[in-house]
Structure 1
């Protein structure tokens, strides 16, 4: 087994078992890298050369690499390496310094058991220094390379491969097996589709309900609804229209028109209702007993109604425009005029408060 085969076998055995589980499928779209490389040069093709400087023994080579993957399919890489050999016939120590530049191509998605293959074409410039030689020799070479790469972690790539290097002037070919590790930076990954299931939704502020009626402001057609009001789906208060009707009896002395103070509280209660319901109106009907002539009683009943109106206006500040008065005379008795008690009940003013009131229904 040649040294080249031994090196390749040793490299495969030495790969850490954990690399087999590395995420080898997800190389970045582009990245820069710096790395280290170790290789073994099989210079057997040059052993028949007559010149010592060309006839070198096989030797290990160590180098630093630097490059950039521009796309998932192309990488440009440079390398600086050092090798320590000796001439085959005279065993004179020889140092080889080499600089290389290569372009590599590799498939974007194809993998072979998790490894990404690559192929490259490069140029190298070598400075060969033999101990005791008056001067060093330089060589220009073109080389082909191929191998495989695998992601060890998100930052490190391991690679291994072989090179065939052809010296331009003399035409001999050297082989090289190599392995290296690269540290990645300036990485760029493809944008991943948004995962609506796993991505935490950004907090959304709920719509406001300024008047607290249960309908949010964007849908509330009636802002400012009173608190506790029953509303429809548009946020407008449901209203109930009802008729107001209140009756008051004020009794008078015989042939009298003065309103007795004892009735002021009852008149004030009606005044409060008129204030509460500003669209309501009041009708005051004056009545008398059957004493006296019908004509006289008609005028007397009107005067009694007017007296109650004056109390409402002066004492309770109710507008006279909201009050109507009429004299009914003796035409509508509510008791028997044959008795004193009956006649006293008939000497009266009836106050009738009417109107329609719309109020907001409560929850």
Structure 2
């Protein structure tokens, strides 16, 4: 079967439009990646009998690192087999490249981020029974990248290769699937400081805690602001029970806490700050995929992951957090559907506390 550049382009376009427009993915600030690439190497004709070979498909492996949203570097190595155009011999083609890439996240469209790259390439053609032909090449790239979930990245592009010696120009459209590792996300900007409260005029008599009772009659100084007080300035109290429920969902076979759930975890942390004697119980759950014993351990790991967020992100003491794993024993949705399994992959937390709570005006 003969493959052409137009056939490759049609396949790439089909994959682009076939990728579902999933929820917007948050790009990491920096990450490494390892992947595989398929490409169609279109070699310029008119070379010597060794270098003048048929076009060919070439698989390759990628290793790269994105240092920040703007710059990355990639190493690549690929091998393929082809034939000489004018000689009846087989030729092994090997290509290694290193490129630096400049990314343009502000121009992203449809989830795809464009980039341009430049670098160096080394191409070797090894014909049967003849000496190897080695070519130094200047490399240029134009491409698009898109996240597929939180662990994979699709890379589509075209590479131009200019031979250093005799200035022949080859082209190489490609598609790659890369697995991401070592992801780091940008820290959220701190909230702006609240504006200072306007100064109130001091009355003829002094009320230091602003509870409406002058100091010379106040038997309970330093009453918290906004508290209801009796005639002698002491606050009124009531018994209050506080209960807040947290629900954090996870990807399949994952213990990574998504940053989209940080505000909900922060609400639990806020209650723990308001009630210093309170404790929280974190219960991890899984769907029914996989062995029950594996799911039991996975559920404990998910609860521990939320615990680490409460400790590192919100400063909650570890002695106030308990974790347990429920495995797949307590589903809240149908495990026979993808949506139901997504709901079952979760961590639930319940905070229960009782204390004397000051009544507010």
| TM-score normalised to structure 2 length | 0.52
SS at match of 1:125: strand
**Cα pair 1:4 1:176 within 8 Å, conserved:** no
Partner of 1:78: 75
SS at match of 2:187: coil
Mark the runs of 5 or more structure 2 residues left unpaired by the alignment.
192-218, 225-229, 236-361
CA shift in 2, pair 1:22/1:166, >3 Å:
farther
Judged with a 3 Å threshold, the aligned counterparts in structure 2 of structure 1 residues 185 and 93 are, in CA distance, closer, same or farther, namely: same
1:174 aligns to 2:170 (yes or no): yes
The reply on whether 1:140 has 2:140 as its aligned counterpart is: no
Please say if residues 19 and 152 of structure 1, whose CA atoms lie closer than 8 Å, have aligned partners that are also in contact.
Answer: no
Q: Does 1:60 align with 2:57?
A: yes
| Cα separation, partners in 2 of 1:22 and 1:169, compared to 1, 3 Å | farther
- Quote the Cα distance in structure 1 between the aligned partners of 2:15 and 2:155: 13
Q: Distance in 1 between matches of 2:144 and 2:72?
A: 14
Find the counterpart in structure 2 of residue 38 from structure 1.
38
Question: Is 1:162 the counterpart of 2:158 in the alignment?
Answer: yes
Over 4 Å off, 4+ runs: 215-218
**Structure 2 equivalent of residue 20 of structure 1:** 21
Match of 2:117 in 1: 120
Contact persistence 1:106–1:116 (CA under 8 A): yes
Q: What root-mean-square deviation, in Å, do the aligned CA atoms of Structure 1 and Structure 2 show?
A: 2.9
C-alpha contact 2:72 2:102 (8 A) present in aligned 1: yes
- How many angstroms does 1:163 deviate by? 1.0
SS at match of 2:107: coil
CA distance in 2, matches of 1:19, 1:92: 44
Distance 1:129 1:216 in 2: 93
Task: Tell me the SS of whatever aligns to 1:20.
Answer: coil
Measured at CA, do residues 190 and 41 of structure 1 come closer, stay the same or move farther in structure 2, by a change above 3 Å?
same
Equivalent in the alignment of 1:5: 6
1:290-319: per-residue Cα shift (whole Å, max 9, x none)? Answer: xxxxxxxxxxxxxxxxxxxxxxxxxxxxxx
Q: CA offset at residue 53 of structure 1? A: 1.6
* Cα distance in structure 2, aligned partners of 1:139 and 1:104: 22
Q: Compared with structure 1, are the counterparts of its residues 32 and 42 closer, same or farther at alpha carbon in structure 2 (3 Å cutoff)?
A: same
Taking a change above 3 Å as real, the CA distance of residues 154 and 216 of structure 1, as seen in their structure-2 partners, is farther
Structure 2 residue 185 is matched with structure 1 residue 189:
yes
Q: d(CA) in 1 for partners of 2:105 and 2:34?
A: 21
- Measure, in 2, the Cα distance between the counterparts of 1:178 and 1:163: 8
Alignment of 1:233 onto 2:229: no
Judging changes above 3 Å, is the alpha-carbon distance between structure 1 residues 173 and 216 closer, same or farther for their aligned structure 2 residues?
A: farther
Distance in 1 (alpha carbons) for counterparts of 2:60 and 2:23: 25
Equivalent pairs, count: 205
Match runs of 1:1-363 below 5 Å: 3-15=4-16, 17-24=18-25, 26-43=26-43, 45=44, 47-49=45-47, 51-133=48-130, 135-192=131-188, 219=223, 232-235=231-234
Deviations, residues 91-145 of structure 1 (Å, cap 9, x unaligned): 4111112211000001132213331111100111122110111x21211000111
> Secondary structure at the residue paired with 2:14?
helix
Deviation at 1:5, TM superposition (A): 1.9
The Cα shift of 1:74 comes to: 0.6
Matched residue of 2:101: which SS? Answer: strand
Q: Distance in 1 between matches of 2:234 and 2:134?
A: 92
- Determine the C-alpha separation between the residues in 2 that align with 1:78 and 1:235: 72
Give, in whole Å, the separation in 1 of the partners of 2:79 and 2:158: 17
**Secondary structure of the structure 2 residue equivalent to 1:71:** coil
Give SS of 2:67's match.
Answer: strand
